[in-house]
Structure 1
Amino acid sequence: MTYRILVCDDDREIARAIGIYLRSSGYEAVEAHDGTEALELCRTQTFHLLILDIMMPGLDGIQTTEILRRTHNIPVIMLSAKSEDIDKIDGLTAGADDYMTKPFQPAELIARVKSQLRRYTSLGGMHQTPTAAVYRTGELVIDDASKTVTVDGDPVNLTPREYGILLFLTQHAGQVFSISQIYEAVWQEPAYNSENTVAVHIRRIREKIEINPKEPKYLKVVWGIGYKMEKLHPKQLG
């Protein structure tokens, strides 16, 4: 199978160069040059990953990702000329799965693309496993065969990374994991400065599964240690 990747950057030379890197690594690459064009392409074509610049005229990368997340859960790698943590946090909060600062090495970009596609194919629903288990805590149910999540019977739309975190913690409900342990289990790479990345994803998950994210019933922080998924029976939820 050949993966199709959409590259969106208003700098046409950068978009073209990234497309060349991707094609030389065996991927199919399509180029867009603003957020509106990228969203239209996603509406009419199938892509497995989006590489998206933050700073673009019209719809910027943050706005484009927020709109995309209403209907698509494909991985998004965000690019920026800025290296400040606040820009990275804004990107992740909008729904991006990874963030790279320009300039970057082509080999690193390809490595991150491979990592995101690996997670997407295993957690994002591309390849369904009929024998996969169903995990439940309280009224939160994860069907790992269909890669679906429901709370009180209502579907929850998660990105592949969010799904990976939720699945990992639910599989080990009641156990406490450090941020580094969560990162290494879900990202499948060594944890390095992963605190903000994990915290932003946890916050987004809470916003989707909790009635009151500030007083969570499911995904709880254990101060000074990390996070855990509460092990609940359905009747424990009022």
Structure 2
Amino acid sequence: MAAVPLRALVVEDESALADLVAGYLVKDGYEVEVAHDGEDAVERARTLDPDVVVLDIGLPGIDGIEVCRRLRTFSDCYVVMLTARAEEVDTLVGLSVGADDYMTKPFSPRELVARLRAMMRRPRLDASDAASAEAPTLTVGDLEIDAPAREARLGGELVPLTRTEFDILAVLAEHPARVLTRANLLVEVWGGDWVGDEHLVDVHVRHVRQKLGDSAERQRYVRTVRGVGYRIGTGADT
């Protein structure tokens, strides 16, 4: 039985670039749709239910940041944002609304495809998978991390983590006595063949902390080991 092809939505107002990216994805086996503005992108995403969205930040009408924010109300697809500006604010704002990765123009379509391949190899468990899985719930103070169900609860309340944020938290919790470097986390979460800026890890860790009520000064759940990396906390106030 043939495998169901992955679905991709390319959102880019430059037609030539959109067609170029779409062509590379089609060659890699994706079913691809293209949108050239934000409103159309959101509507197509509702219909297509894509596995991944390649999303330009600088769109006419509603921009890529707002598109990503709306996507996250109904989809947990992977989102790779494209930006023509390398300023950190674009990166941080884009990732803060639930993007998983970003690329700065000009970029290599081959590198984009390679990153997507690494993303698609990450697990995506549905409810039936979760019901049959035997992995235990990981507990850190009043934080519970249910890896099979891909849910985190703090004091019994569901924490709205993106897929990448959950993966980082789960990997840290699986190694409670170990400090994980950025390189360790990139291998565990993004895959060993991922190529990009390793400071992407710091951005996602910052968002995990915010959603858990942590801060740089009050690190109960995700703690920084200066000069080394990150480790899971105990959940106790420090």
Give the TM bin, normalised by the shorter chain: 0.7 to 0.9
Tell me if structure 1 keeps the 8 A contact 2:10–2:35.
Answer: yes
Which residue of structure 1 aligns with residue 20 of structure 2? 17
Which residue of structure 1 aligns with residue 47 of structure 2? 44
TM-score (norm 1): 0.86
Unmatched 5+ residue regions in structure 1?
none
What aligned pairs does 1:1-238 form with structure 2 within 5 A after superposition?
1-119=4-122, 122=123, 124-126=124-126, 128-129=129-130, 130-189=133-192, 194-210=197-213, 214-232=217-235, 236=236
Summarize the Cα distance change of 1:192–1:21 in structure 2 as closer, same or farther, 3 Å threshold: closer
Summarize the Cα distance change of 1:31–1:191 in structure 2 as closer, same or farther, 3 Å threshold: closer
Q: How many residues align?
A: 232
Amino acid at match of 1:91: G
Tell me if structure 1 keeps the 8 A contact 2:91–2:102.
Answer: yes
- After superposition, the C-alpha distances for 1:26-66 in whole angstroms (9 at most, x for unaligned) are 11001111112111222333111100011111111122212
Tell me if structure 2 keeps the 8 A contact 1:174–1:231.
Answer: no
Deviation at residue 91 of structure 1 after TM alignment:
2.3
Summarize the Cα distance change of 1:230–1:204 in structure 2 as closer, same or farther, 3 Å threshold: same
Tell me if structure 1 keeps the 8 A contact 2:219–2:233.
Answer: no
Amino acid at match of 1:34: D
Between the aligned partners of 1:34 and 1:19, the Cα distance in structure 2 is 16
Amino acid at match of 1:2: P
> % of aligned pairs identical?
35
Deviation at residue 96 of structure 1 after TM alignment:
1.4
- After superposition, the C-alpha distances for 1:164-207 in whole angstroms (9 at most, x for unaligned) are 11011011124222222222222223687745311110111111
Amino acid at match of 2:12: D
Q: CA RMSD in A?
A: 2.4
